[in-house]
Structure 1
Amino acid sequence: MVNVLLVEDNIEISKNIEEYFKGEVEIQAVYNGSDAIEYLGAYDYDIVILDLMLPEVSGMGVLKHISKNCLNTGVIILTAKEELGDKLKAFNLGANDYLTKPFFMEELKARINSILKSMGKVKKPNILEFKNMEIDMKVKKVFINNKELELNEKLYRLIEYMVINKGVLLFKEQIFDNVCGYNSDAATEIIEVYISRLRKQLSAFGYGKYLITKRGMGYLLDESIED
């Protein structure tokens, strides 16, 4: 999943961006320039959305830090300042794009995708993602942190179906039809066995907690569970 550092001291704007992109990108929100520099030193980000008028260290200061340390991240300046001088200074310091407030979320999304494409960070269309899990639907293999899970055909179908429907409660009968097929002679209870085996595989990578059982109802993959 795309990792974004959002540096915006307006909490309302920050929360709106987080809500809009929920489930599509991983966003770490900070509210001042000092925290931004600290997080940039500790983690890798694909995109930084950066306000210019920040407490403690300005957005330009953060941009200078990114440039000085040659960090491989795209930067979108997000600010109410429209002066040409600010834009030129930001671009000269390595910013990829400049978006003036107020803005449309759809435009911000389009600009993020454009930068990711230009940096070669757009995932192939046959890849499904859930946190650091990648499912290659072309070769039918599943990886967590680049390590392959040992899954048979049924378990692969199960995890693929649940990732496609992440965050959605799936009834046992729905899962059975998609994993085993409508004409299968097996009992629907076999899904409990498959879920148990899949959870064991996921738990080896710390991902078992995301596979939630709703007793008497069904199952879901929930990426909102805190790490």
Structure 2
Amino acid sequence: MRILIVEDHTDLLEAMQKMLQDEFTIETATNGEEGLYLAMQNIYDVILLDVMLPDLDGFSILKKLRAANMMVPILFVTAKDALDDRVKGLEMGGDDYLVKPFQGPELIARIRALLRRSGNLTIDHTLCYRGITLSGKEQPIFVDGNEVKLTITQYELLEYLIHNSGKIVTKEQIYDRVWGYDSETTVAIVEVYIHHLRKKLEPFSYHKDIQNVRGIGYILKEPKEN
């Protein structure tokens, strides 16, 4: 799962990365304009957003994201602890508000709660689709109870498809989510990795669930019986 941290205090930013890097893929921005640009360009599971930022404050970033119909969960992480600020952030469309200073376990718990609320995580922190269970990119996945090893990229691809199971995702969306806008590869790499992932799932017949949507992308859903 991918998280964007928008925080201008370097020491705190590094500390937050260390708290989260074992469980999540982290990207960072140190000012508001950069944070907004990344949030608009990429697909994140959660955004951790400071309020007081250079160039563009966190409330303005949130307003622009919601105006663009981007419903990614937003967790404000800020020193502004006044009741009016907390209420403002939530009423503008923020999902949670964590006041500095905080401890790592609380930050992780808040993120997990947002992921569960958005349907991206179960109570035991696993991600499931039919007989497929994901427990973190450092852990093996299980398919119908059998351990299957994936590369990090294959894992992130499968994770993204499961997050969006039943929905059509374009090749461009997959590319942005898994490889990132600054990757030196091209969107054609998506087809290659879809092929590899299908091969890994073929012994269990789940390769048929990754269905082509001609001219658009893919959808992960149980195939209809003939």
Match in the other structure for 1:138: 144
The amino acid of 1:14's aligned partner reads L
Match in the other structure for 2:133: 126
Match in the other structure for 2:98: 99
Alignment deviations for residues 122-177 of structure 1 (CA, whole Å, 9 cap, x no partner): 1139314438x98334354566224325359xxxxxxxxxxxxxxxxxxxxxxxxx
Question: Between the two proteins, what is the percent identity of the paired residues?
Answer: 26
Match in the other structure for 2:112: 113
Match in the other structure for 1:162: none
Q: Distance in 1 between matches of 2:30 and 2:115?
A: 24
Kindly tell me the number of residue pairs found equivalent between the two proteins.
Answer: 153
Q: Distance in 2 between matches of 1:138 and 1:14?
A: 39
Secondary structure at 1:120's aligned position in 2? coil
Match in the other structure for 1:73: 72
Secondary structure at 1:61's aligned position in 2? helix
The amino acid of 1:44's aligned partner reads I
Match in the other structure for 1:58: 57
Unpaired runs of 5+ residues, structure 1, are 153-227
Asked if structure 1 preserves the Cα contact closer than 8 Å seen for 2:23 and 2:136, the reply is: no
Q: Distance in 2 between matches of 1:134 and 1:93?
A: 39
Q: Does 1:36 align with 2:35?
A: yes
Q: TM-score, normalised by structure 2?
A: 0.61
Q: TM-score, normalised by structure 1?
A: 0.61
Question: Larger C-alpha radius of gyration, 1 or 2?
Answer: 1
Alignment deviations for residues 55-109 of structure 1 (CA, whole Å, 9 cap, x no partner): 0000111111121112131111111111111111111111111011111111010
Q: Distance in 2 between matches of 1:62 and 1:151?
A: 40
Match in the other structure for 2:7: 8
Secondary structure at 2:199's aligned position in 1? coil
Q: Distance in 2 between matches of 1:111 and 1:121?
A: 14
Q: Distance in 1 between matches of 2:45 and 2:200?
A: 30
The amino acid of 1:150's aligned partner reads K
Q: Distance in 1 between matches of 2:63 and 2:140?
A: 34
The amino acid of 1:130's aligned partner reads K
Match in the other structure for 1:150: 199
Secondary structure at 2:75's aligned position in 1? strand
Asked if structure 2 preserves the Cα contact closer than 8 Å seen for 1:60 and 1:90, the reply is: yes
- Deviation for aligned residue 1:40: 1.1
Match in the other structure for 1:85: 84
Secondary structure at 1:126's aligned position in 2? strand
C-alpha RMSD of matched pairs (Å): 2.8
